[in-house]
Amino acid sequence: LSQHCIFCRIVRGEIPSRIVYENESVVAFRDTDPRAPTHVLVVPRVHVGSVGELEDPAVAGHLVLAARRVAEATGIAESGYRLVLNTGADAGQSVHHIHLHVLGGRPMTWPPG
Ligand code: AMP
């Protein structure tokens, strides 16, 4: 499972990524298909497939707090940003390792598409 998971492989350093923040619990790296001037993915080091498989509240907390650090490090904290957790087919989740999108650097529309 985690052996072939692309985000587990990024966490292990087996696939290159542009890391902007990391700590003992999470790694945050640039999305390769950015949808905003700042588009970073925050992933837990442990493999959790999606919000639908999330059990440990500490994982959720680490993701959100790391997103704050990402926003500060990338200069979007003042202007604002959006956090997105696509979950399942209708939301278009394409990688089955939970990832918190941090999007900013431009105004966002609401509701999202
Ligand atoms: P989602 O559609 O919410 O599952 O988001 C998956 C995201 O992962 C997409 O925005 C992809 O562009 C991004 N992505 C896929 N592979 C990589 C990779 N190797 N490095 C960085 N981002 C990736």
Could you tell me which of 37, 40, 42 has the C-alpha nearest to residue 66?
42
User: Does residue 59 have its Cβ closer than 6 Å to ligand 1?
Assistant: no
User: Does residue 14 have its Cβ closer than 6 Å to ligand 1?
Assistant: no
CB distance 36 to 105 below 8 Å:
yes
pLDDT tens string for the chain (113 positions)?
Answer: 688 999 999 999 999 999 999 999 999 999 999 999 999 999 999 999 999 999 999 999 999 999 999 999 999 999 999 999 999 999 999 999 999 999 999 999 999 98
* 8-state DSSP, 111: S
- CA of 58 from ligand 1 middle (Å) equals 23
CA 32 – CA 99 distance, rounded (Å): 14
Point out the catalytic residue in the list 39, 97, 99, 101: 99
Nearest-CA residue for atom 12 of ligand 1: 33
User: Does residue 93 have its Cβ closer than 6 Å to ligand 1?
Assistant: yes
Could you tell me which of 51, 56, 57 has the C-alpha nearest to residue 86?
51
Q: Which residue reads 């790694």 in tokens?
A: 27
Could you tell me which of 61, 55, 56, 43 has the C-alpha nearest to residue 97?
43
Active site residue 99: yes
Other C-beta atoms closer than 10 Å to the C-beta of 37 total 12
User: Does residue 31 have its Cβ closer than 6 Å to ligand 1?
Assistant: yes
